[in-house]
Amino acid sequence: MQQPLQISSEFIEKHTDFLELTRALQEGFANKKMLVPKRHHHDFPNPITQKDTTLLLMPAWNPGNEAGVKVVTVNPGNDKFDLPSIQGSYLYLDAKTGVLKAIMDAKNLTAKRTAAASALASSFLSRENTETMLMIGTGALSVNLIRAHAAVRPIKKVFIWGRNQAKAEVLCQELSQDSFEICSVSSVAACIGDVDLVSCATLSETPLVLGEDLVHGQHIDLVGAYKPNMRESDDETIRRTSVFLDTRESGLKESGDIAIPLKHGLLKESDIIADLFDLCSEAVPGRTSENEITLFKSVGHALEDLIAASYYYSKL
């Protein structure tokens, strides 16, 4: 029996074109034949770090063609071991035979597809002349989010803020050869009102994006805060923005950015304008005015994993 191919993080890094990947995701979200069952989400205690570990099982099928499942753990305490918080593998299958075709590094696959999904949303929700960006967070997603957004909008200047400014400086150095100017900032408030796009990817339990600081025409991209008790934006942000999700099923309950306003009655399910399925099928328009402040909340979806796995498998 033929052994499954191994697709490494390095291969994924080398063969990523964010514009290509974003377009592949757009086609995937518009494809009504894809089947995505509810993902398994389990939290269990980690007595060493004193922070719960989350186990995610995310399957998806394109009947008669391909299938896959991602097995991932999210470990917020992994900085103690100098390891990324996300660990896991993606199993890519032939849907006709069930044969395992490839095993892929899930951490980088997740980072790339997550960033591409945010860029996809931005292509519908941010202004076409978006030139400036604030990146809140210095984790593994940050570089990918910046490059993905720059693939769909003419980004000329990027600001980076993180709790550890030394990490922000390292990211500036890593991106110094890209097509945009980049620098670190000492506070979010110092520049959030001066940018067209705000992307936030943190594990924060308290809001970092404050509605009182937002200005007309901005697009807010919230990628972190994956648990109901985590929150990257405050109530005023929700009040002032047009809210969009990656998917309604997961987005309404998995993150505190949406779940908490829903619980308190600040936001109703009917207030959610659209998700990526709606946008990509052209059932609902995205941004409708230059002054509108749009907000996209992403919690991740197994469809994104399968499309990304197919994309990287095609690069072999």
Q: Is residue 134, in this structure, part of any structural domain at all? A: yes
How far, rounded to the nearest angstrom, does the alpha carbon of residue 85 sit from its chain's CA centroid? 15
Q: In terms of residue numbers, what domain contains 182? A: 126-300
Indicate if 152 and 260 belong to the same structural domain: yes
Rounded CA separation 311/314 (Å):
5
Which residue type does 8 have?
S
Tens of pLDDT, residues 122-139 = 999 999 999 999 999 998
The confidence score (pLDDT) of residue 130 equals 98
Q: By the 8 A CB rule, do 46 and 175 touch?
A: no
Tens of pLDDT, residues 196-208 = 999 999 988 899 9
Indicate if 186 and 257 belong to the same structural domain: yes
Q: Is residue 116, in this structure, part of any structural domain at all? A: no
- Please enumerate, as own/partner, the contacts of 43-52 that have beta carbons within 8 Å and a separation of 24 or more: 46/75, 46/77, 48/77, 48/80, 49/75, 49/76, 49/77, 49/78, 49/80, 50/77, 51/75, 51/76, 51/77, 52/76
253's CB contacts (< 8 A; 6+ apart) are 228, 259
Sign of the torsion formed by the C-alpha atoms of 212, 268, 242 and 199: positive
pTM: predicted TM-score of the whole model, two decimal places: 0.91
Q: Is residue 120, in this structure, part of any structural domain at all? A: no
Total tally of structural domains belonging to the chain = 2
Indicate if 92 and 213 belong to the same structural domain: no
Q: How large a percentage of the chain has pLDDT more than 70?
A: 100
Rounded CA separation 258/5 (Å):
39
Indicate if 177 and 270 belong to the same structural domain: yes
Indicate if 83 and 167 belong to the same structural domain: no
Tell which residue, 198, 203, 299, 278, has the closest CA to residue 241.
198
Q: Is residue 155, in this structure, part of any structural domain at all? A: yes
How far, rounded to the nearest angstrom, does the alpha carbon of residue 250 sit from its chain's CA centroid? 13
Tokens of 66: 């391909």
The confidence score (pLDDT) of residue 1 equals 61
Please work out, in degrees rounded to the nearest 5, the angle formed at the alpha carbon of residue 231 by the alpha carbons of 225 and 232: 85
Tens of pLDDT, residues 225-276 = 877 889 999 999 999 999 999 988 777 777 889 999 999 999 999 999 999 9
pLDDT at 161 over 90: yes
The confidence score (pLDDT) of residue 248 equals 87
Rounded CA separation 256/251 (Å):
10
Q: Is residue 119, in this structure, part of any structural domain at all? A: no
Mean pLDDT of 178-193: 94
Tell which residue, 216, 221, 206, 74, has the closest CA to residue 135.
221
Q: By the 8 A CB rule, do 180 and 158 touch?
A: yes
Indicate if 184 and 218 belong to the same structural domain: yes
Q: Is residue 44, in this structure, part of any structural domain at all? A: yes
pLDDT at 310 over 90: yes
Q: Is residue 115, in this structure, part of any structural domain at all? A: no
**CATH code of the domain covering residue 53:** 3.30.1780.10
212's CB contacts (< 8 A; 6+ apart) are 236
Element (H, E) at 275: strand 274-275
Beta bridge partners of 243: 295
